[in-house]
Amino acid sequence: MQLNLLATDVVGSEDCLYLNIWVPQGNTVSTNLPVMVFIYGGGFLLGGGQGANFLDNYLYDGQEIADRGNVIVVTFNYRVGSLGFLSSGNAEAPGNYGLWDQHTAIAWVHRNIRNFGGNPGNITIFGESAGAASVNFQILSPKNKGLIRRAISQSGVALCPWAVNRNPRQYAEEIARKVGCPTDSGMVACLRRTDPKAVTLAGNVKFSTSASHPIVHNLALSPVIDGDFLPAEPDTLFGNAADIDYIAGVNDMDGHIFATLDIPSINNALVSTPVEEVKKLSIALSESRGTDAGIATYEEYTANWGSKPSDTDIKKTVVDMETDYIFLVPTQATLYLHSDHAKSGRTYSYLFNEPSLCFTCSPMDPLQ
């Protein structure tokens, strides 16, 4: 069960923990094939193992990958939103239920994939956005020791600023108030008695964003350091991934959609983006380090502007700033940590910057 795209209702049901398996098509029985397990993204709020349906074709249909790569492909569902990541900040409701679902699916694949012609010793997990951060969490957790051989994070890692909820109790209390529950010691028991649809609807994201209040700071339903699945801060857990090959990377202009929500003018060729908006954004993204750090960051990003920056330069700076903060810098830091702690595991980085064939020109084309 999760919010619909407009956050006006819910879709799905609590009975959601299913997985899909694709094997290469042919006349021979597959044996000992590599296995690729996909974790979908969606801000830890929405998504599914099949993905969106376009003209009866599901986005995450794994048959083509299975046939082209001669591999077995697995996708699965996991709990998202309030039901997957709400946490009271203590043992009463520790959170990370969605991560536990992912782990359970990976462990099931490891136990059973040989029956489908797969090699349990050659499992690669991969995912994008929140799914990519989930991949990173899975290889860092001690619960997955021996289950995973390789991992691929596409635009998301555990060190991303949106990947860990630093104040879960505050958000749990906000949800409790929305559904009429107390915020004292009876909160968790009350939430568990409440209609799951109401609890899910109460976990919607605030889309009233601006340069001073970027949307990335509103993604509060996310994993927590629970002392169990994630026993410590992610940057201290890379020893658990020492024997796992790891690839992580980003897309060029990965922060574009976030930048568009925070400063809509960057996506309109007919509207200029005020310089002051860029400074506000820099300070907001640097809030954990203070205003002085935000101003220093602004000066670094605008050092090559000159006295009269073009509107294209200003808009490109906004996208670069959000891309670096939300995706690129944490990804590079993660890769260094993996490499520093690696034993047999190998570390790789990538950047996708090939123009997509799926989209024609847009107002952002001059920024490419």
Average pLDDT over residues 209-234: 95
CB atoms within 10 A of CB 117: 17
**Closest to 199 in 3D by CA, of 216, 221, 226:** 221
Q: What is the pTM of this model?
A: 0.93
Q: Spell out the domain ranges in the chain.
A: 2-259+325-354
Evaluate whether 278 touches 317 at the Cβ level (below 8 Å).
yes
* Res 42 pLDDT > 80: yes
| 2-259+325-354 CATH, one of 3.40.1710.10, 3.40.640.10, 3.40.50.1820, 3.40.30.10 | 3.40.50.1820
**Closest to 49 in 3D by CA, of 122, 111, 86, 98:** 98
227 burial class (0-12, 13-18, 19+ CB within 10 angstroms)? exposed
pLDDT of residue 314: 96
What is the rounded distance in angstroms from the CA atom of residue 11 to the CA atom of residue 1?
6
- Calculate the average pLDDT of the chain: 93
Of the listed ranges 41-50, 176-185, 238-247, 332-341, the least confidently predicted one is: 41-50
Average pLDDT over residues 330-341: 99
Of the listed ranges 46-55, 151-160, 188-197, the least confidently predicted one is: 46-55
36 vs 3, residue with greater confidence: 36
pLDDT of residue 363: 47
pLDDT of residue 194: 98
- Tokens 């969605």 correspond to 98
